[in-house]
Amino acid sequence: MNVSTSPSAALHRTIHAITASCLVAAAACPGNAGAFTPNDNADILNFCPSDDLQRIIAKRTGSGGMKFAFNAIERADGGEPTNVDSYQVKVTSLPKLPNTAQPATPEALFNYLRSHLAELIDQTNSQFGPYDGAVDKPIWNQADPTGALMLFDILNKFGSVRSKDKSSRIERALVVVSDIKRSADRYYWRFSTIGADDTWKPDFSAYGDHPVSGTREFGLYKSGTAWVAYTRGADRATGGVIDHWNRDEIFKGADDLWKSFQTRFARFVNANGGAAAALPAERQEPQWKDLVKDGVVKLSCNWRKDAVKP
């Protein structure tokens, strides 16, 4: 199920113009503050899940026969603003992982990032784990976790729901591992957003649409003698009244979450014999129609009808 995805030609030109030693599409390289543009995330903006993965999602059912489908970025209905972002941590000295005597290899650090993601984000913002522990946890723990259905429980820290008798949860945001890559200079996996045909419940325990539609990548790439851990994404508010009117709050909550990843990952590296520092977060909010007009978006996914939300 491993999906092979190559950066776009435009992205190759961007990378070459910055530095030949920066071998990844993870936005601008360290030391090039202000150089980030939507073109740096063009491969994510144009990412399409494989047909095999679409079949898996279309056939899968959850509790009570619940069905799942992708929330595709080109079908989002929450407005034109499109979030493109990059959050990076420069690692100049690799840490020792727990119970090890030597500094980690880059691949071991990447594996640690993936297996400990729940601890590397602000858990007062969102809590992360498998959708179904019996099914998805074993897949998530494999070397190739493609197809694992994962869940971000987004907590009500922004005051959107004021009733004291309601859950502290405000959204249940499903994603699926849609790609993974390992090479000598770059490691990454991708999450694509998933919606479910669940019915809204007053305690916010339902699995509905993901609040945003798109793809997010987590990874590690080589930059000169250093390594850079990062997450970067491209998404739009999915739609409906709540997503449309709370779009700014949705984007702000995500921005806070990924900045917390930077802080916690750098803290982990520094506390375990390495050296790391968070780089300035980079984020833009172009209009979807402008991305299409300018040729940044050339997306033409061959969607299965039963695998994508209309």
pLDDT tens digit string along 132-145? 999 999 999 999 99
- Report pLDDT for 242: 54
How large is the average pLDDT for residues 259-273?
A: 98
How large is the average pLDDT for residues 39-65?
A: 96
In angstroms, rounded to a whole number, what is the distance separating the alpha carbons of residues 176 and 57?
9
Task: Give the percent of the chain with pLDDT over 70.
Answer: 82
Hunting for tokens 């992360």 — which residue is that?
128
- Report pLDDT for 167: 52
pLDDT tens digit string along 49-60? 999 999 999 999
pLDDT surpasses 50 at 61: yes
How large is the average pLDDT for residues 205-230?
A: 95
- Report pLDDT for 156: 67
Joined together, the tokens standing for residue 259 give: 């900045």
Joined together, the tokens standing for residue 271 give: 């506390």
pLDDT surpasses 60 at 202: yes
How large is the average pLDDT for residues 113-130?
A: 95
Q: What is the mean pLDDT of the chain?
A: 86
pLDDT tens digit string along 78-95? 889 999 999 999 999 999
- Report pLDDT for 187: 98
269 and 90 Cβ atoms separated by less than 8 Å: no
- Report pLDDT for 200: 75
201 and 167 Cβ atoms separated by less than 8 Å: no
113 and 265 Cβ atoms separated by less than 8 Å: yes
- Report pLDDT for 142: 97
pLDDT tens digit string along 152-190? 998 865 544 444 444 577 789 999 999 999 999 999 999
Q: Give me the CATH topology for the region 9-296.
A: Alpha-D-Glucose-1,6-Bisphosphate; Chain A, domain 4 (3.30.530)
Least confident of 113-127, 193-207, 284-298: 193-207
Least confident of 29-38, 158-167, 231-240, 293-302: 158-167
- Report pLDDT for 244: 53
Length of the chain counted residue by residue: 310
pLDDT surpasses 70 at 67: yes
- Report pLDDT for 163: 43
Query: Any idea where the domains of the chain sit in the sequence?
Result: 9-296
